[in-house]
Structure 1
């Protein structure tokens, strides 16, 4: 592996971070401040692992029982990624309840789709592309289905509830972000984007047009341009909203009386102004990119 510092890559989650609050974006991508593990997010990781590996079983054997049998291995995989996992729980009973909630989400999946009628073309797909030759985007798509007609469907599992209409733009943008990356990297325009919400058994589908993806691409480029301007100035201002209540950085946010850590001069440029000269590196390296 080359020792050259990797160029930055913008993912849907980081693009959403920036749109929500540039200062939070800085804390996560430049300062790389630690955040306490989240029960909800870690539960989602466990459920995603189960649904990915469920499709290793042959058609006819993809049952709720088979899915639940994967939970111990999924928990081992999650613990490997989150060594301090057990610190989230107040007691063994608390952890047992958390696992029970994950089990309910797994069961709910089978009310949305019959996995025995599906044969995904790809699962947990790392996708990366360049926009305008200078801006790298990337993401991990939960599932790619290809119909006999050749039509492509991108599927994402959500372990929460479907958002209210006024908060649905973020999820829709995430899926179009993936679709833009797929089109730019592979020359394929997905025929359908699908969100499976396990929290309340809702399935949201969208059939994007080329114009829709052009618009999404323009938005991504606009976010990239804004990030670059902030990086050139080392200036990341907070943006308050109702979502601040869930932010783990409130104690150091000036909007709440806190003081951010001092940013070394040029630190932003080192992370976000590096030219994308290493585009031919492997997908595993892209997945581990420090700007993810």
Structure 2
């Protein structure tokens, strides 16, 4: 790709000195885009402001992800739906649920999703990456992140992302996911194999939404990531030099304020309405 031509090289700034590359993860990008104030609290403020409590949907998602990682670490002859369900139970936690009954209900539901998922999947494959960290220079940024699963099919890499959210997904969700595009850019350089295909595996609905990227579509995602990185890096440098944090990192209020981890430290967010219950985003 033309825009990622400077692998291993820092670009020159206006003063002729090498300009540092900005490390960019999907989490950083989404946090900055959602709310600059939340970005400051999460990545810059020290000590970090107190976060809210656990969310049930995050607890559920972590159990499913951990179970699937452990499942593909098993020998092929032990990769059964029953084994997958048992792994969900062994990785389960109760944080964020309204009580024992709700936790038990969703534990059984999540175990059923995972059991059905592996029953309909090719479990003989050995992924080349499970919770694999990938990182590579790409233009003015270093694209990096942790990928749920990386398969190799026909000599090419496929990025697989597990989802356990409330709503079903479609091809456009895979197509427009900046996170998946960054994983492609980083994985093809980290593992030195072709990579264009991304997949969202939505366990509650048992569906797979996929997209085959082109060099042009990856370039567009990369350009947007670079632009966002330049914005938050400039704001960070100005803040470090003594700039006003309220001007550099203004709150961006909306529905998302009801479930923001830093809500208690943000009067503007609190003013948008009541806080969401910790179990409000569980899949129905």
Q: Give the TM-score normalised by the residue count of structure 2.
A: 0.74
Distance change in 2, residues 1:8/1:100 (3 Å) = farther
Partner of 1:248: 261
Question: 2: CA distance between counterparts of 1:200 and 1:86?
Answer: 23
Query: Unaligned regions of 5+ residues in structure 2, if any?
Result: 1-20, 240-247, 272-284
CA-CA distance at 1:249 after TM superposition:
2.6
Question: 2: CA distance between counterparts of 1:16 and 1:203?
Answer: 23
CA-CA distance at 1:105 after TM superposition:
2.6
- Choose from 186, 190, 193 the match for 1:185: 190
Question: 2: CA distance between counterparts of 1:156 and 1:164?
Answer: 12
Q: Give the TM-score normalised by the residue count of structure 1.
A: 0.72
2:134 is equivalent to residue 120 of structure 1? no
Distance change in 2, residues 1:207/1:161 (3 Å) = farther
Partner of 1:270: none
Question: 2: CA distance between counterparts of 1:30 and 1:237?
Answer: 14
Distance change in 2, residues 1:153/1:124 (3 Å) = same
Give RMSD over aligned pairs: 2.8
CA-CA distance at 1:65 after TM superposition:
0.4
- Choose from 198, 204, 210 the match for 1:199: 204
Question: 1: CA distance between counterparts of 2:81 and 2:255?
Answer: 37
Partner of 2:78: 61
CA-CA distance at 1:141 after TM superposition:
0.8
Larger mean CA deviation between 240-249 and 40-49 belongs to: 240-249
Question: 1: CA distance between counterparts of 2:55 and 2:197?
Answer: 31
CA-CA distance at 1:200 after TM superposition:
2.0
Partner of 1:281: none
Partner of 2:245: none
Secondary structure in structure 2 of the residue aligned to 1:200: coil
Secondary structure in structure 1 of the residue aligned to 2:200: strand
- Choose from 110, 127, 132 the match for 2:118: 110
2:38 is equivalent to residue 30 of structure 1? no
Question: 2: CA distance between counterparts of 1:17 and 1:152?
Answer: 28
CA-CA distance at 1:135 after TM superposition:
3.0
Secondary structure in structure 2 of the residue aligned to 1:115: coil
Deviation per CA, 1:101-132: give whole Å up to 9, x if none. 3213313423652323x221221111112233
Question: 2: CA distance between counterparts of 1:252 and 1:163?
Answer: 33
Question: 1: CA distance between counterparts of 2:95 and 2:152?
Answer: 41
2:231 is equivalent to residue 222 of structure 1? no
CA-CA distance at 1:173 after TM superposition:
1.4
